[in-house]
Amino acid sequence: MEMIPKVRKAVFPAAGLGTRFLPATKAQPKEMLPVVDKPLIQYGVEEALDSGVPNIIIITGRNKSSIEDHFDVSFELENVLESKHKDHLLSVVRKISDMINVSYVRQKEALGLGHAVLRARELIGPEPFAVVLADDVIEAKRPCLRQLIDVHDFFGASVVALMEVPREAVSAYGVVDAEPVEHNGACDKLFRIRSLVEKPNPQDAPSNLAIIGRYVLTPEIFQSIDSIEAGAGGEIQLTDALRHLLRNGPIYGLLFEGTRYDAGDKLGFLKATVEFALGRDDLGGPFREYLKSLEL
Ligand code: UTP
């Protein structure tokens, strides 16, 4: 039997323009927007680490320095915290720079998600890898990425995370045409993908199963990205590359277990902020009291 290689690297595209979140994203990437007190990208990085993926590759664009600084050692800050005996904060800050083995690749122009992923080709090499879009923040008992990796490790094929969305919302997503597959005796969560389309009109959409920002991809995806033309919005779309990759072999879709917040969108961001604040030991109580006091 052929060995299925392990997923060891995760790509974090963070070079988009974040136009839905202007003006906050004028001078900083949206991946640095904090939900409660942690930037979006840190939630994603923690999810990758919790999923057993130790190597992080961040695709940056203009205004990249805040992301690099965030994951770097900050001697000055550490010195101040140390001298003031702020041990808890010091450990919070140290944990971030100790946390990851990180590399950065530049996407010089925001030519699309597929184009961004292609920048990681040299660093990935001939092995399967994960893609995490950090503006999709996912709360789950078992990390969403881990759920996808389990499917990958079983089939040795690419896997995308799926979510059911209202029909009228499909035009904001990549949408799949897919048939259920039996897996571990259950066949309501796993799908084999027949085709995919980026941002379809609701009346043309093959289903209401939308792709959200977690993927496990086999390295053949790079040839596929290389072969396709710009698609929706004039961008090199990862969804189009996945459709091309179907010629190569099967792709699976998993209705993951958990809650996803679209934190790249203002309303989604606000929902994530409220839910995460309510879930915090230190803030949940007083924040709940405050919300109750609002006359809505
Ligand atoms: P989005 O579709 O959310 O686009 O990108 P965007 O440009 O970031 O944001 P809006 O729609 O203008 O508000 C999905 C992910 O792909 C990355 C983004 O950083 C985000 O993580 N991306 C997108 C790139 O890295 N490069 C690109 O050229 C496009």
**Domain positions in the chain:** 9-264
Element (H, E) at 195: strand 190-198
Report field, pTM of the whole predicted structure over 0.85: yes
d(CA 53, CA 45): 9
Closest CA to 130 of 29, 10, 43, 243: 10
> According to the model, what pLDDT value does residue 185 have?
60
Under DSSP, the state recorded for 183 is B
CATH number of 9-264: 3.90.550.10
**Distances from the Cα of 287 to the Cαs of 210, 276, 279, in angstroms?**
33, 11, 10
Per-residue buried b or exposed e for 67-87, using 16+ beta carbons within 10 Å of the residue's own CB: beebbeeeeeeeeebeeeeee
> According to the model, what pLDDT value does residue 224 have?
97
93 lines ligand 1 (CB under 6 A): no
Q: Which tokens sit at 222?
A: 């790079």
Closest CA to 16 of 64, 51, 52, 71: 64
> According to the model, what pLDDT value does residue 182 have?
81
> According to the model, what pLDDT value does residue 160 have?
98
Alpha carbon nearest to ligand 1 atom 18, residue: 16
55 lines ligand 1 (CB under 6 A): no
Q: Which atom of ligand 1 is nearest to the CA of 235?
A: 28
Q: Ligand 1 centroid vs 135 CA: distance in angstroms?
A: 9
**Distances from the Cα of 80 to the Cαs of 65, 71, 116, in angstroms?**
22, 18, 38
Question: What residues have CB less than 8 Å from 262, skipping those under 6 apart?
Answer: 135, 136, 268, 269
d(CA 148, CA 58): 20
Q: What is the DSSP string of 57-97?
A: EEEE-TT-HHHHHHHS--HHHHHHHHHTT-HHHHHHHHHHH
> According to the model, what pLDDT value does residue 296 have?
83
Q: Ligand 1 centroid vs 269 CA: distance in angstroms?
A: 15
Sign of the C-alpha dihedral computed for residues 217, 220, 222 and 227 taken in this order: negative
> According to the model, what pLDDT value does residue 184 have?
66
Q: At what angle do helices 40-50 and 144-155 cross, to 10 degrees?
A: 40
16 lines ligand 1 (CB under 6 A): yes
Q: Ligand 1 centroid vs 20 CA: distance in angstroms?
A: 10
Torsion of CA 6, 43, 45, 81, to 10 degrees: -140
Count of CB atoms situated within 10 Å of the CB of 12: 27
Q: Ligand 1 centroid vs 131 CA: distance in angstroms?
A: 13
Under DSSP, the state recorded for 256 is -
Q: Ligand 1 centroid vs 83 CA: distance in angstroms?
A: 41
* Residues lower than pLDDT 70 in the chain: 1, 184-187
Residue 130 contacts residue 48 (beta carbons within 8 Å): yes
Alpha carbon nearest to ligand 1 atom 9, residue: 18
d(CA 191, CA 178): 6
